[in-house]
A and B are shown apart, each in its own frame.
Chain A
Amino acid sequence: MAAASSSDSDACGAESNEANSKWLDAHYDPMANIHTFSACLALADLHGDGEYKLVVGDLGPGGQQPRLKVLKGPLVMTESPLPALPAAAATFLMEQHEPRTPALALASGPCVYVYKNLRPYFKFSLPQLPPNPLEQDLWNQAKEDRIDPLTLKEMLESIRETAEEPLSIQSLRFLQLELSEMEAFVNQHKSNSIKRQTVITTMTTLKKNLADEDAVSCLVLGTENKELLVLDPEAFTILAKMSLPSVPVFLEVSGQFDVEFRLAAACRNGNIYILRRDSKHPKYCIELSAQPVGLIRVHKVLVVGSTQDSLHGFTHKGKKLWTVQMPAAILTMNLLEQHSRGLQAVMAGLANGEVRIYRDKALLNVIHTPDAVTSLCFGRYGREDNTLIMTTRGGGLIIKILKRTAVFVEGGSEVGPPPAQAMKLNVPRKTRLYVDQTLREREAGTAMHRAFQTDLYLLRLRAARAYLQALESSLSPLSTTAREPLKLHAVVSIWVQGLGPTFKLTLHLQNTSTTRPVLGLLVCFLYNEALYSLPRAFFKVPLLVPGLNYPLETFVESLSNKGISDIIKVLVLREGQSAPLLSAHVNMPGSEGLAAA
């Protein structure tokens, strides 16, 4: 833990115009080794001495070493290992007695660990879920050996198919087993009572009966089995239980438990459910069509960040008010509350290393950070009222203090036409030559046009002639003869391999007709006998099955010792006809073997 003082704050160099910034850089430690979520950050005067501490439920690097860290100023004050990963941390007042030091609650697995004065005080465990009576019955039968494993498996499977609630893990494990292992498993586990335990996914606090800043609060827990629980702050009994259609991820509460409250729960199915005191089930539902990444209440507006890189504002009845698009993915969100100016705003940490602060849809401020911020928290820290605490993806810790003179003004940066509007269009320039040519075209346009047309006709004429000639003499390597009853489509391609004086010439023949094979073809090579010799200058082609590629190989010996190369003509003929079906010219390479010698 580096004991970095505020002097190294210029490491946060991203904030270029230091003087104009609304923030003072108090502390930056890129190696603070804090890996956590916004839900696991809490600020509280834990010892009642007016010095606010930062409580961090740290997951540890890679989620391996969960720890409870308490920071005072830039330093870690205490650090203690946790039994499991913390899901949420909250501070709350348990009772009215003096001294009014808040307790710390840490949700982890199925338990809430409550600390007072940073000493373990109470451990609340979620009650066991009732097992399915049918399932219970089956295992009881198994215990008394009245049921064989196969029947047990079938019965359990039928329960799984039909029952609303899932089976206990013991049954699920059993269903996975092979036949041979069942007996042993049943014998081993039959005496255990079947259990279903759930875990806490999120936690927040709710004032009990007073709206004051320092009023007694209840804990509100969201659990994996789609329930919300409200706990009594003193006795830790369950005061209320509400059920949701999906697993809650983020909670936002307003009001008092004994009077009236509203609870908004962002859930894993992408919906946000809004409940009230008297409702056991959600009263309103907001469907986001994306996953929520944060849920913050600002006055009466619910601000939701979604995975589609946008912030949405909703009323308490689920009506959409506005949408703001972010430049990058939102990683975390939290509330910024400046009591002295009565300001409430939303902070969003983005994947591009920005922290944006919005009041409704108006951007108030952008903080550039050296690394993407993964958790945020704003409030009183130490003796400073407006402190922003951020941890980064790499485990760094950034602490910034809001200047006392700083006033957030709406829309400092993004009002008016976009900056691109002032940029000059990049119109391609034209050269002097272009202008000259234009002038010439104006003068002699007609002549140019005529010359062009004449040339074009000549070109077309020549192309047509060449084509006709090629057709007449079958000079093309592609044949489509339609004269014969057997329609022949054949393609020839030729490879020449070797350096000389001996080359290998490979002729690839392919019958491209779809159905009919070709029989009775001959291949003939025409060449200058003074330059080359071929073992077989004329041979029959085997039957050509449609579609297949037939490589026909022959050796060519170069006779010339002067490195002269010539053309070898390859003709494909039909038996009994003198006109070739196909022809190809092979430009033989010079014999390098001789040239070198």
Chain B
Amino acid sequence: MALTVVPSFSVSGVWKRTQFPVSTESQKPRQKKAPEFPILEKQNWLIHLHYIRKDYEACKAVIKEQLQETQGLCEYAIYVQALIFRLEGNIQESLELFQTCAVLSPQSADNLKQVARSLFLLGKHKAAIEVYNEAAKLNQKDWEISHNLGVCYIYLKQFNKAQDQLHNALNLNRHDLTYIMLGKIHLLEGDLDKAIEVYKKAVEFSPENTELLTTLGLLYLQLGIYQKAFEHLGNALTYDPTNYKAILAAGSMMQTHGDFDVALTKYRVVACAVLESPPLWNNIGMCFFGKKKYVAAISCLKRANYLAPFDWKILYNLGLVHLTMQQYASAFHFLSAAINFQPKMGELYMLLAVALTNLEDTENAKRAYAEAVHLDKCNPLVNLNYAVLLYNPGEKKNALAQYQEMEKKVSLLKDNSSLEFDSEMVEMAQKLGAALQVGEALVWTKPVKDPKSKHQTTSTSKPASFQQPLGSNQALGQAMSSAAAYRTLPSGAGGTSQFTKPPSLPLEPEPAVESSPTETSE
């Protein structure tokens, strides 16, 4: 067997480098009786017991003694010393010691595995793969080798090979870690369905692993399959009631349903464990917003913003709350900051336009609306608000165009999902339609009669505001905020409604996921 990576140096040469003093006792020529050699493995058990207890100081002392006695021949002592070096972060030293072990007993796959592991930790993935392949020749049926080969291939971005190896590992022996890695590959490739398949199998195999449950729940959440998402997140919370990710995700779902008090109690647990989490304070802030405690909402959101100043979602929410509080100048600042970080979202421009309208800067408001209309594809609210703005100074023609645009979007949404529209928005649209003298061609789905959402919408939309001239700033702001405060529940994956404000999820598991903003913002 040829070692490709391991340089074949003499063992004594290595020992000079690795500072275990070698006693010269037995090298003295003796005349008569040859000395008895000590048993090499005499204290291996003791080294091991100290090692698994994480009592590394005692372990090192025994190793040193053992190596002095055996002149550096005790393979296991070197092996554990290397493991400790690696735990202490001295990866290069550990690599050298593992190579020594590999020289001392070339038939051991374990030594090669450790050499490869150290190479892997040093970021030398190709070299690690070579050594793992050597080890695989010695031990065909080791899931660990296949698994680690798979992980190396992931880092080399050779996903097909990685998948093969990971499946191989699963065939040999099933481990949670392998499932997680396999799921990660699918996520990196952007294949959510396959990732879900993998995680499903993993959860079947290990039903109490909270990490698996949480990840699966989050994946379902991204696909909009809320029932299953909630089920898995709930399971995760049963096994570990303080799981940060699961609580945040479950809380955000409760928020979507308007269960602000339940969500808040859940968040308390996280608030104790992870004090400085921006998404947590964002969600708490939005709970207070939902409960109409605006000052508390602003406090929490500002804390979130302080912790994560570059998160546009928090800025968006801050803008929204300030709009509701009729602090348009502040709202303008938060929204323009959000736009700087996320220039591709129509809703942001729409909110900015609402703020500008209220600040009596109609020119810029129109420009913002134009941008919003340009960017947005499915939110009828953008067009409605724009139409109202255009209608007021008398640009009936343009207003009509926007109104028709809105009708298109509405009918599109109705086709794709059983989405219910905000009653206030419907009312406003009908009024505008009447004012523009368009025939009532649009059949709105009935607003939900759910008492919870009823409570919400009615309380925000003060009847008085509708007595004002159509589309006055006041009414607009109200329409905006209530529509934004109203949480719809799209059930199909196709038509996602974006007028809910995004409650932040905990750290998205994969970078690939983050790249699809429509998914994450829900």
A283-305: contact bitstring with B at CB < 8 Å (1 yes, 0 no)?
00101010111000000000000
* B326 nearest in chain A by CB position: A442
A37, A85, A176, A320: the one contacting B43 at CB < 8 Å is A85
* A85 nearest in chain B by CB position: B46
- Per the bound structure, the CA–CA distance linking A164 and B105 in Å amounts to 9
Within 8 A of A (CB), among B232-276: 240-242, 264-269, 271-273
- Residues in A whose Cβ lies below 8 Å from that of B58: 62-63
Q: Are A420 and B242 in contact (CB under 8 A)?
A: yes
Distance to closest chain A CB from B325 (angstroms): 7
Within 8 A of B (CB), among A46-79: 59, 62-63
* A148 on the B face (CB < 8 A): no
Q: Is the interface of B mostly helix, strand, loop or mixed?
A: helix
Distance to closest chain A CB from B300 (angstroms): 6
Q: Are A188 and B29 in contact (CB under 8 A)?
A: yes
B37, B45, B327: the one contacting A201 at CB < 8 Å is B45
Question: How many residues belonging to B are interface residues under a CB distance threshold of 8 Å?
Answer: 77
Q: Is the interface of A mostly helix, strand, loop or mixed?
A: mixed
Q: Are A449 and B34 in contact (CB under 8 A)?
A: no
- Residues in A whose Cβ lies below 8 Å from that of B401: none
Given the known interface contacts A173-B71, A441-B330, A448-B329, the answer about A420 and B54 at a Cβ–Cβ threshold of 8 Å is no
* A374 on the B face (CB < 8 A): yes
* A528 on the B face (CB < 8 A): no
* A389 on the B face (CB < 8 A): no
Q: Are B45 and A224 in contact (CB under 8 A)?
A: yes
Q: Are B326 and A417 in contact (CB under 8 A)?
A: no
* B147 nearest in chain A by CB position: A289
* A181 nearest in chain B by CB position: B27
A481-514: contact bitstring with B at CB < 8 Å (1 yes, 0 no)?
0000000000000000000000000000000000
Distance to closest chain A CB from B80 (angstroms): 10
- Per the bound structure, the CA–CA distance linking A331 and B271 in Å amounts to 31
Given the known interface contacts A176-B71, A446-B360, the answer about A438 and B327 at a Cβ–Cβ threshold of 8 Å is yes
- Residues in A whose Cβ lies below 8 Å from that of B61: 62-63
Q: Are A291 and B52 in contact (CB under 8 A)?
A: yes
Q: Are A169 and B34 in contact (CB under 8 A)?
A: no
Q: Are B51 and A291 in contact (CB under 8 A)?
A: yes
* A184 on the B face (CB < 8 A): yes
Within 8 A of B (CB), among A428-485: 428-430, 434-435, 438, 441-442, 445-446, 448-450, 452
Q: Are A441 and B173 in contact (CB under 8 A)?
A: no
- Per the bound structure, the CA–CA distance linking A136 and B71 in Å amounts to 23
Q: Are A421 and B299 in contact (CB under 8 A)?
A: no
- Per the bound structure, the CA–CA distance linking A170 and B208 in Å amounts to 52
Q: Are B1 and A173 in contact (CB under 8 A)?
A: no
Distance to closest chain B CB from A59 (angstroms): 8
- Per the bound structure, the CA–CA distance linking A192 and B329 in Å amounts to 96
- Residues in B whose Cβ lies below 8 Å from that of A418: 241-242, 269
Q: Are A169 and B361 in contact (CB under 8 A)?
A: no
Within 8 A of B (CB), among A247-277: 247, 249, 268-269
Q: Are B208 and A322 in contact (CB under 8 A)?
A: yes
Q: Are A160 and B45 in contact (CB under 8 A)?
A: no
- Residues in A whose Cβ lies below 8 Å from that of B298: 430
Q: Which B residues are closer than 8 A to A by beta carbons?
A: 1, 10-12, 26-27, 29-30, 34, 37-46, 48-49, 51-54, 58, 61-62, 70-73, 104-107, 110, 143-144, 173, 175, 177, 206, 208-209, 240-242, 264-269, 271-273, 284, 288, 295-296, 298-300, 302-303, 325-330, 332, 358-361
3 tightest A-B CB contacts, nearest first: A420-B272, A201-B45, A428-B299
